[in-house]
Structure 1
Amino acid sequence: MKILVFLGLLVTSTSLFAQQFAFEVKGHIQDTEKAKYAYLYSAGNKGLFLRVPLVNGTFKFKSNADLDGNLLRWGIIFVEARNNVTAAEVKKNLDTQTWLPGGTAKIKNIILEDIDLDITQGSQINYPEIVGGGIFNKQLKEITATGSAKKINSFEFIKKYPNSPVSVLELQGIANFLEVLSLAKFEQTFGGSPQKMYAMLSDRLKESKEGKAVKMKIEARKK
């Protein structure tokens, strides 16, 4: 009995450990525009809110976080002259859409991972250059590029990165168009059928919460 209890605890602790990951987000701001502190905020079951001083325009966030059952964890970074910005204040700005991740220049929405950023101005932090690491963020930039910068369609992207969580995110996003596009138009727009794109995903991604959800969405379209 004691052995069974021990094994149960071992499995549980291993499962919990697998849901945690370490990350290091760092960067350099060429013109801080009087900002003195960098902040990182990430919502979740265990919220994450970090503040570090800017030293010669450089910041570094090094921490652990829970995935909360997801494949990836998102966060935002920004800089401020104040040292007393609160998590509640940030949450309010996001909830009221005063700040729009991806649309507000002073904040940068990122996938939390090891990444090194080069930023021109503190008030334009949404437009950094990735100079180190940032595997998933680079992939996200690749698939969300627009106009002449876009070099790959959704089908080609998923084929190129079959085991990347970003591929599931992409398929989740474009699957919404199944409600308004014919299958022929969908294939023309995104490079292939949703069924073929799902089939290219790795078994790991198919078994994930996100993978199962997108499968249900695709199958619902066939009914």
Structure 2
Amino acid sequence: MKDTYETPAETEADTEGLMAGRRITFDEAAAWLSATELRLRQVARALETPAAPVELETTINELRSGAQRIRDTAKQMLFLARVTDGEVPLTKVFQGTEDPWGVAARDSDRKAYGGPAIIPTQWQLTKLAKDAEKPGAETTTFPEAMEEIGIGWESKVAAVRRRVERDAAVAKEVLQTPCKTCQAGLGEQCRTKNGWPAEQPHVGRLREAEATVDARLGYLDVNPVHVPDA
């Protein structure tokens, strides 16, 4: 009997089936999250009477807590769908700071908040929507405020993931690049003058591997030149 969980054939990178277009919409995300929530609740219900007599109260409660968090996230996605479609009024500036966002924030400073809010977060949009309900608030809509922004954009999470993938590719490429300093061959680690294996490759070998990988992935320095499906 197997004692390990087998990873499904699909990977997290297989996202094409989640969306009709090139990028997922908030409506689509909400639908998938809703389906996932239901499956979690169904598993939790089924585990109330498992095939073997084992008390699973902790696991069942964890599944239901996770399902509730997913439900809350699905609701947030539906709200963002309405916002990005222009249905929800938003204040033109952050109340209490008078700092703009979107296109209007391109030339702003906003030092106290980590820089200009050209790309707003979901929580900033929530606040902008609440502030827009106040009497006398000057409002706009997401399409108006974000006109011409978004082409070639990727999230911070995506940028970090791509950097991790790039670094992993460089680590593999190093072993496929002969070292001109210590003469380490293919598949061999670099060595010190005394012949001890070194975990870190010599700088020349590393730079050569980085150049090869960056050219393959479309990077300039550590920044992606091309964002897929932009």
Return the TM-score normalized by structure 2. Answer: 0.24
Return the TM-score normalized by structure 1. Answer: 0.24
**Computing the radius of gyration over CA atoms, which structure comes out larger, 1 or 2?**
2
